[in-house]
Structures are given as structure tokens and as C-alpha cells.
């Protein structure tokens, strides 16, 4: 494991998870996806998002014509699976042993997927950081400011990279500009998985 660097208050651990841990986490996530299939959300404006997603935990993040929110059920009507132990282990190591996250959101990026600049602000409690885990192809992560616009800094997140977004950075704008398709061999068909854990409040 290499050290941690801080960019605009984001703590970035670029090789936090070793190959074995990544593989074990991937198997856990596949189990979650079998129970709660990935879906293609629409923005509140009716535009399809390019990432596919699902969740584990007490609540899951959903988006459709009714807006962005946390829901107690998958859009298909089923319950969300529990958060895998491999994910909780990282949360307990880097964030807290006092409280586990309420939601573990799983995003999948195919070759053309991206995520526009956004704040994570659908939670009611911003005192807890958001923990992000990346698996598979590299993603170009852009970090902005507390308000939309202004200068930004970008960093490639690799398979096994972990980011903690907390404290003054909790409401900083960020996004993924693109992925480097097939830069990793973890996912045989290519693509990138990002897992974010949150206390929703
Ligand atoms: C991604 N990540 O890496 C998108 N959010 O695919 C996020 O939106 C994110 O990395 C909150 C905290 C850390 C993150
Ligand atoms: Fe985010």
C-alpha cells in the first residue's frame, strides 16, 4: 500500500486495496448485483445517465422523474442486499468503527460512461465522510470547488484506489470525465466499478 495524498481536502489512497482484496470485493459485488440488478437511472430531467447502478444497505440511491433520493427498495420492488463485509472492512479501517454506512452505491462505467460534476448532497447528515472505492479500469476524477465552476484538478483513480471525501471537502463538486477502457484486467470485459459508502442520516 502506498501513502495518502490530499487534493483539495480529498484524501486519496492510490493503491489501498491489493489484488486479492480487489478480487474478493468484486465477487461480493457480483453477489449484490445478482440480488439487486444494475439499472440505468434517468435524471429528474428525463435524461438517461451513462452509468448503470445499484445499491446495498438500509437504503439505496435512485434517480428518476421524481428526483434524486434514497429509497428503501430497488426500482424492481425488491429489498437492497446487505453491504458486503469486504466493503465494510475498508469503512471501519478509514472512516469509523462507531457506525457503519447506510448506503453503498455501486456505479458501473462502460467504455463511454462518465459522470458530470456534482455534489453529494442527498444525505441529511454531512458530518460523515463519503468513502469511495474504485475497481477495474482507471477513471479520470475531477475535483472542483464548493460552488459550481472555477478551476479544477484531475487525478486518475486506479483499481484499488480509495478516496475519502469529508470535512470541508464534503460538499466539493467532483465528477468522472472518462475512463481508460481496458486499462485494467480485473473486469474481463472491461469497465469501471465505483462504490461509494455513505451515512445518509
Ligand atoms: C466515481 N465518485 O468515482 C464517482 N462521490 O465514479 C463520486 O461521485 C464520489 O469518488 C463522493 C465521494 C467520492 C467519490
Ligand atoms: Fe459523488
Domain ranges (residues) in the chain: 4-198
Which ligand 1 atom is nearest residue 141's CA? 3
pLDDT for position 77 = 97
pLDDT for position 1 = 53
Alpha carbon of 82 to ligand 1 centroid (Å):
20
- Ligand 1 pocket test: which of 132, 136, 171, 199 has the largest number of ligand atoms within 8 Å of its C-beta? 132
The x, y and z cell numbers of residue 9, run together, are 481536502
Q: Is 57 exposed, middle or buried (0-12, 13-18, 19+ CB in 10 A)?
A: buried
Regarding the beta carbon of 120 and ligand 1, being less than 6 Å apart is answered: yes
pLDDT tier for residue 3 given thresholds of 50, 70 and 90: confident
- Ligand 1 pocket test: which of 163, 166, 180 has the largest number of ligand atoms within 8 Å of its C-beta? 163
Superfamily holding 4-198: Alpha-ketoglutarate-dependent dioxygenase AlkB-like (2.60.120.590)
Q: Does the pLDDT of residue 54 top 90, yes or no?
A: yes
Q: Does the pLDDT of residue 2 top 80, yes or no?
A: no
Amino acid at each position: 500500500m502506498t501513502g495518502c495524498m490530499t487534493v483539495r481536502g480529498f484524501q486519496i489512497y492510490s493503491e489501498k486495496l491489493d489484488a486479492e482484496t480487489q478480487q474478493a470485493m468484486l465477487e461480493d459485488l457480483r453477489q449484490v448485483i445478482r440480488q439487486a440488478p444494475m439499472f440505468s437511472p434517468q435524471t429528474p430531467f428525463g435524461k438517461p445517465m451513462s452509468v448503470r447502478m445499484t445499491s446495498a444497505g438500509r437504503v439505496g440511491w435512485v434517480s428518476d422523474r421524481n428526483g434524486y433520493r434514497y429509497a428503501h427498495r430497488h426500482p424492481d420492488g425488491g429489498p437492497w442486499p446487505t453491504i458486503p463485509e469486504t466493503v465494510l472492512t475498508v469503512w471501519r479501517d478509514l472512516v469509523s468503527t462507531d457506525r457503519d454506512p447506510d448506503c453503498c452505491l455501486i456505479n458501473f462505467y462502460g467504455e463511454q460512461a462518465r459522470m458530470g460534476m456534482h455534489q453529494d448532497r442527498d444525505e441529511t447528515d454531512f458530518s460523515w465522510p463519503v468513502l469511495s472505492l474504485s475497481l477495474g479500469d482507471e477513471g479520470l476524477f475531477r475535483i472542483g470547488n464548493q460552488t459550481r465552476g472555477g478551476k479544477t484538478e484531475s487525478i486518475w483513480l486506479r483499481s484499488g484506489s480509495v478516496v475519502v471525501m469529508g470535512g470541508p471537502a464534503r460538499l466539493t463538486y467532483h465528477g468522472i470525465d472518462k475512463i481508460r477502457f481496458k486499462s485494467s484486467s480485473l473486469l474481463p470485459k472491461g469497465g469501471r466499478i465505483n462504490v461509494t459508502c455513505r451515512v445518509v442520516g
